[in-house]
Amino acid sequence: MSEHSVGDAEKHLSDLIDRALAGEGVVITRDGRPVVALHPLPSQGRPVTPADLDWLAMRRVTMRGPREDAGPFVSRLRDEEW
């Protein structure tokens, strides 16, 4: 675990964040006393897998004909009878 003063942390915050994300314990001190610890937040969801990408590729919609702005296109899709 590394300790850094508030002044040092201000100068090197980006580096300290990268170190914390890499798993290093990072503590910021004020007047020689620990006051803050940096640690990564838990990730949300799961990583995208090659199988996920394959699933998306199979469902890709190819537009044929003239290009259409997204707003009218989505409205038309919404209003179509299924």
In this prediction, residue 61 carries a pLDDT of: 67
Task: State the CATH class of domain 2-38.
Answer: alpha beta
Compute mean pLDDT per 10 residues along the chain, 82 residues long, and list them: 94 95 94 95 84 82 73 83 66
Q: Where are the domains of the chain?
A: 2-38
* Helix residue spans in 1-82 (DSSP H): 6-11, 13-21, 50-58, 70-79
- Cβ distance 4 to 14 under 8 Å? no
In this prediction, residue 28 carries a pLDDT of: 97
